[in-house]
Each structure stands twice: as structure tokens, then as C-alpha cells.
Structure 1
Amino acid sequence: MTILPPSTFIQQILELISTIANLLTLLISLYLLCVVIYYFIHSNSIRRRQILKDMSIRLSLNTHCLLIIRSILQFIDIDLNTIKRNYLSIQKFENSFICRFRGYLLLSIHNCLYWSYTIQAVFRFIRVIFPNYISLCQSTISFCIFISIQFFFGFICMFPIFIGFNAIYLLPNEPYCTASYNKLASLTYMPIFAFVLPLSTIAICYLCIAWKTRHITIIRPYQHRNRRDFLVIRRMILIITAISMVSLPLLIDLFIHLPKGYIDPYMNSIGWVSSSINAVILVIGLPFINPKLYELFKRKTNMIHVQG
């Protein structure tokens, strides 16, 4: 059992912003999911089969569901504990296995979220570079393989942080368990698997699709689809660039204080504010990344207007 000191005013402000942004992500995600369900229920059987068979929509909805899970886990593991300390004057928290396991789950879901964008890019890469295999990529088995790869990288790659390096624990002056910034494994191993590798894979897919679109003569229907896939991956990179810019304050804080052997007391609060704002950007940007998902939302809106 650890007795934590009261949080400072700045910490409370940062944690409040993080909680509000996280709840906003959850509300938007649930609303958009309800939109999809509503449209699916009110569509005819042919349109339902088309939606279920469309791999791009299924992969986008997979990312959408991960955003919902991520927001719920963050509220339970991070936001709820900061509310207890800041507003209910609860200062006793335990560095238990359950606490550390919840921290591992949250970090793993974060990792899965970034890898879900990667498998969307890989799917479009296969569709452009190997069009003869597109029927295989549209199958349910392929969808299960994509999701399995996503969760493998999400959970297995984070497992050494949890067990091997023991870098997830109840942080000093914080009421929750997560990866510590003063552990070398957290600063090197985790960013590589959670951010660098997914972004690098997306960038490689983007370059390959760009090369084929511009340098190889393609049948007109394929050409239109390839250009659309090219635009989708470019939008992914723009979204990832935007969330990287939001994370700059945390990176600057790390570079300033860690070489001095000093941990900024606001570092974790800044990190979760960045994470929550990033989630808002991801959930708003998701329909604009996938044209078919955006079109689905537009059709649902038109259905409501017609019924009204």
C-alpha cells in the first residue's frame, strides 16, 4: 500500500483535460458505432452482405472498436484513479498484480490501435501490388489473420515490458500503474514496437503503391481503386503526423529532464493529455481516412432526413 501526496493544481488541470478528452473520444466512438449499426439494420439484405464482405470497412470498424476499448480502459485505469485522488481525497493505492496487469492491458491496446492502421495499409498494399490475390484478402479467414497479427504485435510485444523488464508498476506520485519513463526499456523497446515499426510499415506500403500507381500501366478499374488506396494511406500518414505533433510537448519534456537524471512531476500527466487528444484526432479522422466508411455515414444521415 502506497500513500500518495496530494496532486498539484497544474496536475489536476492536466488530468481533467485528459479525462474530458478521453470521455469525448468514447462518446464520439459510441455514436459513430450506433450510426453503423442503425444503417446496417435498416439496409436491405444485399447491402448488408456487401458491408460484411467489404474488408476495408471491417478493418476500419476494428480500429473503431479498439478506440472504444482504449477509452474504457483508460477511464478505469487512469481517469478514475485520478478522480479518486483529486476529488475524493483517496490517497492510498496498491502496487498489486491487478494494477500492473491493467496497465499492461492499456498499453497493449494502445499498441494494437497503431497496428490496426498498419494492417489497413498492408491490406491496401496487397490489393494494389498483388491484385490477383485480392479475393483471398476479402475472405473471413484473411480478416481473422489480420486481426491475429494485430493482437500478436499488440500484446506479445508488450509482454517483456510487463514481465521481463518489470517496467510497469505504480508510479511515484501517481495513482495508477503504467510504464515508467525512467526505465530504459520503456524509452527504447516500447516506442519501437508501438510506433516506429507500424509507421515504417505504413510508409513502405505508401511508397510501393505510389511507385506502382505512377510507373505501371494499369487497367482503368484497377487504376481508380489504386489511386483511392494511395490517398487512404496518405491520409493515414497525415493523421499519424498530426498525433506526433500533439506528442511533441512530452518528447521535449523527456529530452530536457532525462539527461539530467530528473523526472518532471508533470511528465505522466502531459503524456496522458497527449494520448487522449490523439484519440480524439483518431476517432474524428477515421471516417475521412476510409471513403467507404464516410459514404456509409452520409447514407445513414440521408436515411434520417428521408424518414423525417
Structure 2
Amino acid sequence: MNQVAFIVCFTTLIICSLTCLFSCIILVCVIHHLYQNRLQQEDRIIIIHCINIYSLLSIYIAIVALFNIQSILGNLYGYDFNSSWCIFLGYLAPTLACSLFWAFVNQAFFRLSRVIYPTIRRLQSYQLYIVLPFIELVLSCILMSLILFLHSVVYLPTDYYCFVPFTNVYSMFWLVLNNYGSPVGVLLFIYIRITIFLRRQTNTQTLVVRQRQDRDLLVIRRILITVGFVISLGIPAMIFLYINARFMFINNYFYTATEKDYYENNST
């Protein structure tokens, strides 16, 4: 195995393992805190957001770690991991990523309802934020089912795991649009709306309302730091996809089924 590739895969595996471990520990602590303490409704909703985010993050990172394990074993020992289970994992990974980004949208929506629509109690209902993640997960499964229908998830023989190859521009664009573009667009809209609302507030507010808004603003800033870090992780992939798509269209190259089929068709 190439030494640089081995170091990258092994380092990624260590980071994913530690991230998954810490996420599971935090998840257990959060659940314990939820059931062992008498919390107000707002605090319970915040705990539900944490449980949703850390649950999705733990499973997603575990799948990424498994991909790196397959890459290391495949390159060192030549194992073949091509199977229906492999295809399912290649479909499940972007589905969880989509749900994870929408979990941050749920957080932002809760702050939006608290700051701008505090009188609409249904938007701050505890039951709403329990049901909402399941609805989003089902919708993510439906949206990502398109890549299964088009057989876009294939076994990558050089990487030893299943995923949508970057050469499949249309399917990759669909993944980026639903996993990254749509949630980020909604997040930006929500936080811009909150910022505009707070700037237009007059000084005639009561002390209680002002303290609550100051607390919300502090929490929003902390959430924005986390969301900004998550968004920055997708920027390199977006740039690479743009460069790859531009190269393919300039050279009149279109994806068929797999890269192997392309080379075989051109050789004949």
C-alpha cells in the first residue's frame, strides 16, 4: 500500500474512532441528565437536539471508520468487500449526513421560534422536536433512494468500499444539493432572519425579555461556531466536485455505470 495513503487512512481511522468514542460518552451523559433531573421544557428540547445530533454523528462516524478499515485491509491483503451490505452502507452514509445537517436546522428553528415567535407555543412544543427528527430521517431516506434507483452507489475497487464516485457528476450533485446545499441555505436564512429581528428591536423591552434575548444570542453564536466548522468541512469536496465536473464536461466525458465500464468501452 502507498505509504502516504496508509498514513492518511490510519490517521482518519484514529480520529473517527476517538470522535465516535467521545460522541457516545456525551450521548450517554446527556440521556442520563435528561432522565435523572427535573428539567424545564426549554432545557428538555435542547437535550433532545443534543441526543439527535450525537446519535447521528456517532453512527455516521462509525461508518466512515469502517470505510477506512476496509481501505487499509483491502490495500494490505487484497480483500474484496463488494456485497449488498457494502451498497447499503454506501447509501446509508449520505442519508445520515443529510439528517445530521437537518438536525442543526432544527436547532436553529427552535431559536427562531423562541426569539421571533415566542407566543406560538406549538413551535416550542417538546413533542414537535421529538417527532421532527424521525420525519427528517424518513425524508432523507426517500431523497437518497434516487442514488439506489440509478445504481449510482458502486464498489470502488481502488478504495475498497462502496460510494457514489466523483465521476458520476449528476448523482454527486444530487448528494451535495440535499446533504449540503439545502440545509446550509435554510440555516443562513434563519440566522439572518434572527439577526435582522434583533437589530430592529427597540430599547423599550422589559428586562426579562432583554435577558432572554441576550441568552438566545449567546447560544446562537456558539451554535454558529459549530455549524460554521461543519460547513467548512464540505467546502473542499465542493471545490473538488466543481473542478472534476468542469474537467469532464470540457473533455466530453460522461459517466455510464462505473469507471471500469468507461475504460472497457473506450478500449473497444
Q: Is the 8 A contact 1:26 1:71 kept in 2?
A: yes
Aligned to 2:169: 184
Map 1:53-202 to 2 at 5 A.
Answer: 54-76=44-66, 78-87=67-76, 89-94=77-82, 96-134=83-121, 137-140=124-127, 142-163=128-149, 165-202=150-187
SS in 1 for 2:151: coil
Map of 1:210 onto structure 2: 195
Higher relative contact order (CA 8 A, sep 6+): 1
Q: Distance in 2 between matches of 1:196 and 1:236?
A: 18
Deviations 1:197-217 (A, max 9, x none): 111111111111112222134
Query: Shift of the alpha carbon at 1:246?
Result: 4.1
Seen in structure 2, the aligned counterparts of structure 1 residues 53 and 230 have a Cα distance that, compared at 3 Å, is closer
- CA–CA distance in 2 between the matches of 1:212 and 1:253? 37
Deviation at 1:28, TM superposition (A): 1.0
TM-score by length of 1: 0.71
Shift of 1:97: 2.7
Deviation of residue 247 (structure 1)? 4.4
Alignment deviations for residues 202-240 of structure 1 (CA, whole Å, 9 cap, x no partner): 111111111222213444333332333334334333333
Closer, same or farther: CA 21–258 of 1 in aligned 2, 3 Å: same
Q: Is the 8 A contact 1:51 1:57 kept in 2?
A: no
Q: State the TM-score, normalized to the length of structure 2.
A: 0.80
- Alignment RMSD, CA only? 2.7
**Shift in Å at residue 51 of structure 1?**
7.2
Deviation string for 1:51-77 (max 9, x for gaps)?
A: 79621221122111111121223333x
Partner of 1:236: 223
Contact 1:70 1:106 in 2 (8 A): yes
Match among 13, 16, 19 for residue 19 of structure 1: 13
For residues 12-70 of structure 1, what are the alpha-carbon distances to aligned partners after superposition, in whole Å with 9 as ceiling and x for unaligned? 121112111110111111222233345456x4xxx334379621221122111111121
Letter in 2 for 1:146: L
Partner of 1:273: none
Cα contact 2:153–2:164 (8 A) shared by 1: yes
Q: Which of the residues 10, 26, 37 maps onto 2:4?
A: 10
Q: How many residue pairs align between the two structures? A: 248
Query: Any conservation in 2 of the 1:115–1:153 contact (CA below 8 Å)?
Result: no
CA spacing shift, 1:11–1:34, aligned 2, 3 Å: same
Q: Aligned AA for 1:154? A: S
Q: Please state how far the C-alpha of 1:10 moved relative to its aligned partner.
A: 2.0
Summarize the Cα distance change of 1:179–1:228 in structure 2 as closer, same or farther, 3 Å threshold. farther
Gaps of 5+ in 1: 1-6, 264-308
* Sequence identity percentage: 25
8 Å Cα contact 2:94-2:175 kept in structure 1 = no
